[in-house]
Structure 1
Amino acid sequence: MRINFPLALTLGRVAAIPLVLALFYVDWPHARQWACVLFALAGITDWLDGYLARKWNQTSKFGAFLDPVADKLLVAISLVMLLRDEPGGVMAILVAVIIGREITISALREWLAELGQRTTVAVSMVGKVKTGFQMTAIGLMLWQQPFLGLPIYEIGYLCLFVASALTIWSMVVYLRAAWPLLRESMPQ
């Protein structure tokens, strides 16, 4: 297998996950802020790798598989770290909604792919906006410290609420699009 630049970006995102995790837990000055910077860079590669792969005609089946896996691992692990940091009920619900949706939609896409209907649940604009709020929320909450007098963590927490609402909305959009096939597949 030849590793092209877009695939290298995806692999770099996977490699960033344990580094974000380590920076979250070490007791070094500014470690959380470095975790945020690394998380943000990984988030940028999420957009960049797909864009470059399409532009340069360097798409691959392995890259198409690894890209969403890298994204979901980065988000899920970061959310679990943040939940460990603030183990309250509200945070647990927000994290469960986001991770639960990711598992549900991933399973739905896999099932639809088996039926040859994967495009039935193509990424929607709601999903893209949800991802933007989600990545912003996680980054701000990783940063944790106020910046220029702004309550960064609290802004991130508010963005996580918005991301959770958009998560539910986007899941409904995907399930509604797949409903005819789901209904057709139910036992009579």
Structure 2
Amino acid sequence: MTITIPTWLTLFRIVTIPLMVAAFYWQHPASHIVTTAVFVLGALSDWLDGWIARRFNMGSDFGAFLDPVADKLAVAITLFIVVQRHNTVYMAMLAAVIVGREITISALREWMAQVGAHGLVKVASLGKLKTIFQMVALGCLLYQQDLFGLPIFLIGQVLLSVAAFLTLWSGWDYLRAAWPRMSK
């Protein structure tokens, strides 16, 4: 098996996850900057691997499998560490909605593939919008501190709330699309 450039970038994104966690717990005044930088680097590599795969027709079956796994790992682990540090019911509920939807839709996609109806649960533009809000929100929540007078953590909470709403909406769209096959 030949590993394509997009797949290498996806593997790189997976490697950034433990680096981000280590930076998050690093006892240093700049840890929030390093943590955010590692997270943003991973998020940008997600965009870049997709762009390269589409632009240069470098998609692969392994890459198609690995990319959503890397995305879900990055989001879930980032949510876990953010909630661990900011353990409020509100933050925990947002994280539960997002992680719960990801698990549900992953299981739905797997089941739909097994019954030969994988095309019914393709990634939609609403899911991509959700991902953008989610990644920007998580970057803000990792940074935590005000920047140029802007309440970055509060902005992150608002954006994560929007992402959770979009998560529920896109999850509902997936379930609605799959329902005719599920209800047989």
Give me the TM-score of the superposition, normalised by structure 1: 0.95
Q: Where does structure 1 lack aligned partners over 5 or more consecutive residues?
A: none
Counterpart in the other structure of 2:82: 82
Mapped contact 2:9–2:49 kept (Cα < 8 A): yes
Counterpart in the other structure of 1:144: 144
- RMSD value over aligned CA atoms? 0.9
Q: Deviations for 1:127-150, whole angstroms, at most 9, x for unmatched residues?
A: 111111110110000011110010
Q: How far did residue 55 of structure 1 move?
A: 2.0
User: After the TM superposition, which of the residue ranges 101-110 and 82-91 deviates more from structure 2?
Assistant: 82-91
Q: After superposition, where does 1:25-40 map in structure 2 within 5 Å?
A: 25-40=25-40
Mapped contact 1:33–1:144 kept (Cα < 8 A): no
Q: After superposition, where does 1:149-164 map in structure 2 within 5 Å?
A: 149-164=149-164
Q: Deviations for 1:145-168, whole angstroms, at most 9, x for unmatched residues?
A: 110010001100110111111111
Identical counterparts, % of pairs:
52
Give me the TM-score of the superposition, normalised by structure 2: 0.97
Q: Where does structure 2 lack aligned partners over 5 or more consecutive residues?
A: none
Mapped contact 2:4–2:60 kept (Cα < 8 A): no
Q: How far did residue 112 of structure 1 move?
A: 0.5
Q: After superposition, where does 1:96-107 map in structure 2 within 5 Å?
A: 96-107=96-107
Q: C-alpha distance in 2, partners of 1:119/1:147?
A: 44
Task: Give the secondary structure class of the aligned counterpart of 2:58.
Answer: coil
Q: How far did residue 82 of structure 1 move?
A: 0.4
Q: Deviations for 1:77-107, whole angstroms, at most 9, x for unmatched residues?
A: 0000000001111111100000000000000
Counterpart in the other structure of 1:11: 11
Task: Give the secondary structure class of the aligned counterpart of 1:71.
Answer: helix
